[in-house]
Amino acid sequence: MREDVVAWRRHLHAHPELSFQEHETAAFVAAQLGALDGVEVTRPTATGVLARIAGGRPGPTLAIRADLDALPIVEATGLPFASEREGVMHACGHDGHTAILLGAATVLSRLREQLPGELRLIFQPGEETLPGGAAALVAAGAMNGVDAVIGLHLWAPDPVDTLVVRPGRLMAACDVFRIVVKGRGGHIGIPQDAIDPIAIGAQVVAALQHIVAREVDPLEPAIVGVTGFHAGDSVGVIPETAVIAGGTNAFSPAVQELLERRIGEIAAGVCAAHGATCDYEWTPGYAAVMNDEALTARVQEIARELFGAEAVRGGTPLMVGEDFSAYGQLAPSCLVLLGAGNAARGIVQEHHHPRFDVDEAALGHGVRLFAHAAVELLSSLPTTSVSLDPNKELAR
Ligand code: NI
């Protein structure tokens, strides 16, 4: 499969599409899947693709997920298959995820008569942008009857030929907030008659740092990040308002609740101290990616058999968000980080960088991992289901 998978990845890389605009990408995926025997393809959302491969006998249902979207970045890799769309780039490896799952679909469709149960292949739009594409696919029934779900993220900070299979906390929940500081506009030379939202907003930004430093349990990871501050457009004018935007990351729901409440209280308090008011908006983002212990132990074993024990690490939790968690809230889930960096070949840029690239050897590893995991898990999941959901098993 390797040449095909690399060719698909390069095609997708050259033709990136932004979140929820993945029309050509979804059509390409649907066409590739449609050419395979025994693969039922549906389009549950405008740019999402769902494929079903029914096995030759009854058994569990395993879902495997890939994401389709690119980022608003001007590519600077100089690769022969670099983006042909100015300002749009596959700078997170989702082109690779899609190609890998197409490769796995090809292999597994050929094995379908020998497989028990059902494979559900989810190609989702919009991983990079809230509210995320996973929620709409879940709402459209993509997870109905699914006993377990797996996925992978190419991970360039880790070297190719290695992978992280981590039980429990893998990626943090992420939420976003927006504060509008409302002062009173006026002349910069008559500040006593104005209420300056820029000076007050600056204090709000500084005061927000206090939450993680002094209010969150030091043993619980948390981030409060301000990523936007917009106010004013003239040297002589104190503007009416300042808009502060940012995001938070945490694993513990209690910490999430604390951040949501305290950001609003601190903004309101600092504003009140200076005679201003504020509007505060909190938008829930993605839940934390929590890898199921039992399923992840199985995937660890499979990965060790395929790539050697020394290639598989437990890694550490990451504070970035991933809407793979939307599937994990409905079934035991495991997201793997597949090493894709290669310092010797200069593939060292971080994700979302204009020169981001992956070592394409990782694509073959991804296909092998998904294909073997599908075969192994479809054969062993009923046992897993007993321990996870006795009522369901009793009802059989
Ligand atoms: Ni990504």
| pTM listed for this prediction | 0.91
- What residues contact residue 336 under an 8 Å CB cut-off, 6+ apart? 150, 151, 152, 153, 163, 164, 165, 299, 303, 369
In the chain, list all ranges with CATH 3.40.630.10.
2-171+288-378
73 half-sphere exposure, CB direction, 13 A CA radius: 19
The burial class, CB within 10 Å (0-12 / 13-18 / 19+), for 61 is buried
Question: 296, 191 in Cβ contact below 8 A?
Answer: no
Backbone angles phi and psi of 194, in degrees to 5 = -110, 170
SS3 at position 341: strand
Active site residues per annotation: 69, 127
Better-predicted residue by pLDDT, 53 or 384: 53
Give distance in angstroms: CA of 299 to centre of ligand 1: 21
Residues by chain with Cβ below 5 Å of ion ligand 1:
92
Give distance in angstroms: CA of 111 to centre of ligand 1: 29
Give distance in angstroms: CA of 155 to centre of ligand 1: 9
Domain 2-171+288-378: CATH superfamily is Zn peptidases (3.40.630.10)
| 56-69 tens-digit pLDDT | 999 999 999 999 99
- Res 389 pLDDT > 60: no
Give distance in angstroms: CA of 219 to centre of ligand 1: 27
Q: Comparing C-alpha atoms, which of 45, 40, 295, 285 is closest to residue 149?
A: 295
- Res 96 pLDDT > 70: yes
CA distance 352 to 332: 29
| 3-31 tens-digit pLDDT | 999 999 999 999 999 999 999 999 999 99
Residue 381: the pLDDT is: 83
Q: At what angle do helices 253-273 and 197-214 cross, to 10 degrees?
A: 150
| 194-211 tens-digit pLDDT | 999 999 999 999 999 999
pLDDT tier, 392 (very low <50, low <70, confident <90, very high otherwise): low
Give distance in angstroms: CA of 141 to centre of ligand 1: 23
Q: Which of 215-224, 320-329, 380-389 has the lowest mean pLDDT?
A: 380-389
In this structure, which topology does domain 173-286 adopt according to CATH? Alpha-Beta Plaits (3.30.70)
Backbone angles phi and psi of 149, in degrees to 5 = -135, 135
Residue 388: the pLDDT is: 45
| 104-144 tens-digit pLDDT | 999 999 999 999 999 999 999 999 999 999 999 999 999 99
What is residue 251's DSSP assignment? Answer: S
| 288-312 tens-digit pLDDT | 999 999 999 999 999 999 999 999 9
| 311-353 tens-digit pLDDT | 999 999 999 999 999 999 999 999 999 999 999 999 999 999 9
Residue 120: the pLDDT is: 98
- Res 158 pLDDT > 90: yes
Q: What is the mean pLDDT of residues 219-247?
A: 97
Q: What is the mean pLDDT of residues 246-268?
A: 97
Q: At residue 123, what is the residue type?
A: F
Buried b (16+ CB within 10 A) or exposed e, 78-105: eeebbbeeeebbbbbbbbbbbbbbbbbb
In the chain, list all ranges with CATH 3.30.70.360.
173-286
Give distance in angstroms: CA of 291 to centre of ligand 1: 17
Unique residue bearing structure tokens 């504060």: 179
